[in-house]
Amino acid sequence: MPVITTIADLKRMHKRRTPKMFYDYAESGSWTEQTFRENTSDFDQIRLRQRIAVDMTNRTTASQMIGQDVSMPVALAPVGLTGMQCADGEIKAARAAEKFGVPFTLSTMSICSIEDVAARTNKPFWFQVYTLKDDDFMQRLFDRARDAGCSAIVITLDLQIMGQRHKDLKNGLSAPPKFTLASMADLATKWSWGLEMMGTPRRFFGNIVGHAKGVADPSSLASWTAEAFDQTLDWNRVAELMKMWGGPVILKGILDAEDAKKAAELGADAIIVSNHGGRQLDGALSSIRALPAILDAVGDKVEVHLDSGIRSGQDVLKALAMGAKGTYIGRAFVNGLGAMGEKGVKTALEVIHKELDTTMALCGRRDVKELDRDILLIPENFEGRWQ
Ligand SMILES: Cc1cc2nc3c(=O)[nH]c(=O)nc-3n(C[C@H](O)[C@H](O)[C@H](O)COP(=O)(O)O)c2cc1C
């Protein structure tokens, strides 16, 4: 068993264990992948202010996100097809999150259904919805989430159309997957993944197949996804969806101060500053670079969260110290899941927690809720003067 000390260790194991088609699906961004790369490299530009001779006992990473207690303000982001990285992936990730005391967000495009995850966990999780045209289907999704005890809805606003990820096209990733000779040959070398996958009935989109009109089996799913997303989406529709759900709402995919103001006006419980992990608009700013202007615009009106590019507890600390109240990890937990299932997600959370806690101590701070920009060394012009 290798000694795992970083998310990068888990990523290497994920790559070895999981079919290329699904590993590439996770580890890619759209088009040139500029935004995908800058999500991480921009975190690296921020340095930390080392402080000494400050009592570092009794530290705490406990906090709250939308009023819910968390052992650290790091939620698991909604990730589609998680159950393809590892059999029953969403259930395993949700369990790891629950044991660690952080929120798990189930994607609409998950393999395990809302009911599957609810039946195999004990605490409420969050459910992410895409904005779809079909009102009946949206209402049923909300009803199912309510019946499953979900404590918040995350509405993703940055995917009315899909950004193109070249690798997915080349690998034949689709719903359902198209297998090529190369992908079949690769699959043959990932036998432990295959054995586990054969042992579960959960291999299709559990929230959709059998629930959406005209999608009785996986083969009709491809045409459904192309048709279902609502390109007419506007803020009135967002308000309508928030009303249909009627409970706590987090709006995801905000990267611009003007959009943040609209989201705050609608009364969202939180917004997520996010570029979908660099998978949508290539050339968009990294989330960490976009964060300060958004905080200046709405920081006192709505809780601001951030995702995209977090690979360590130091990245979490930087986002919190910059002013975010919560963060999310996508690929960092998927790497753990692909490497070692539930245990891998637990390991990913432990790695991030340890990095966050130790960094906080060495910056002379004891409470994650009291981190501020004073501990950061941010390069001049970090936010940039973009015309
Ligand atoms: C493989 C993959 C699938 C994703 N699927 C969804 C999804 O179904 N819904 C959604 O709102 N965001 C989705 N996202 C975006 C994540 O929720 C999150 O914004 C992103 O992963 C954060 O960036 P990070 O991976 O660098 O942490 C996905 C991201 C990845 C990597």
Known catalytic residue: 276?
Answer: yes
Residue pair 145/247 in contact (Cβ under 8 Å)? The answer is: no
pLDDT digits (tens, 9 = 90+) for 9-19: 999 999 999 99
The reply, when asked if residue 55 is annotated as ligand binding, is no
Which residues of the chain have a pLDDT value below 50? none
Which of 25, 28, 79 to probe ligand 1 with, by most ligand atoms within 8 A of CB?
79
Q: Is the CB of 79 under 6 A from ligand 1?
A: yes
The pLDDT score that the predictor gives to residue 219 is 60
With a 6 Å cutoff on the Cβ, whether 250 touches ligand 1 is no
CA distance 196 to 229: 32
Is 309 a pocket residue for ligand 1 (Cβ < 6 Å)? Answer: yes
Q: State how far the alpha carbon of 203 is from the alpha carbons of 17, 58, 89, 90, 176, in Å.
A: 18, 45, 10, 12, 9
Kindly report the protein residue whose alpha carbon is nearest to atom 4 of ligand 1. 79
Q: Is the beta carbon of 109 within 6 A of some atom in ligand 1?
A: yes
3-state secondary structure the chain: CCCCCCHHHHHHHHHHHCCHHHHHHHCCCCCCCHHHHHHHHHHHHCEECCCCCCCCCCCECCEEECCEEECCCEEECCCCCHHHHCCCHHHHHHHHHHHHCCCEEECCCCCCCHHHHHHCCCCCCEEEEECECCHHHHHHHHHHHHHCCCCEEEEECCCCCCCCCHHHHHHCCCCCCCCCHHHHHHHHCCHHHHHHHHCCCCCCCCCCCCCCCCCCCHHHHHHHHHHHECCCCCHHHHHHHHHHHCCCEEEEEECCHHHHHHHHHCCCCEEEECCHHHCCCCCCCCHHHHHHHHHHHHCCCCEEEECCCCCCHHHHHHHHHHCCCEEEECHHHHHHHHHHHHHHHHHHHHHHHHHHHHHHHHCCCCEHHHCCHHHEECCCCCCCCCC
Interval 324-367: pLDDT, tens = 999 999 999 999 999 999 999 999 999 999 999 999 999 999 99
Of 131, 252, 276, 335, best ligand 1 pocket probe by most atoms within 8 Å of the beta carbon: 276
Looking at the CA of residue 36, tell me the nearest atom of ligand 1.
26
214 is in an annotated binding site: no
Q: Which CATH superfamily is domain 7-377 in?
A: Aldolase class I (3.20.20.70)
CB atoms within 10 A of CB 33: 18
Q: What's at 362, amino acid-wise?
A: L
CA angle 124, 130, 131 (to 5 degrees): 125
Place of tokens 């003067």: 385
- Domain segments of the chain as ranges: 7-377
Determine if ligand 1 sits within 6 Å of the CB of residue 253: no
Q: Of 22, 279, 310, which is best to mutate to test ligand 1, by the most ligand atoms within 8 angstroms of its C-beta?
A: 279
Residue type, 286: S
Answer yes or no: is the C-beta of 105 below 6 A from any ligand 1 atom.
no
107 is in an annotated binding site: yes
Question: Of the residues 14, 166, 276, 305, which is catalytic?
Answer: 276
Q: So what's the pLDDT on residue 243?
A: 98
According to the annotation, is 156 in a ligand binding site?
yes
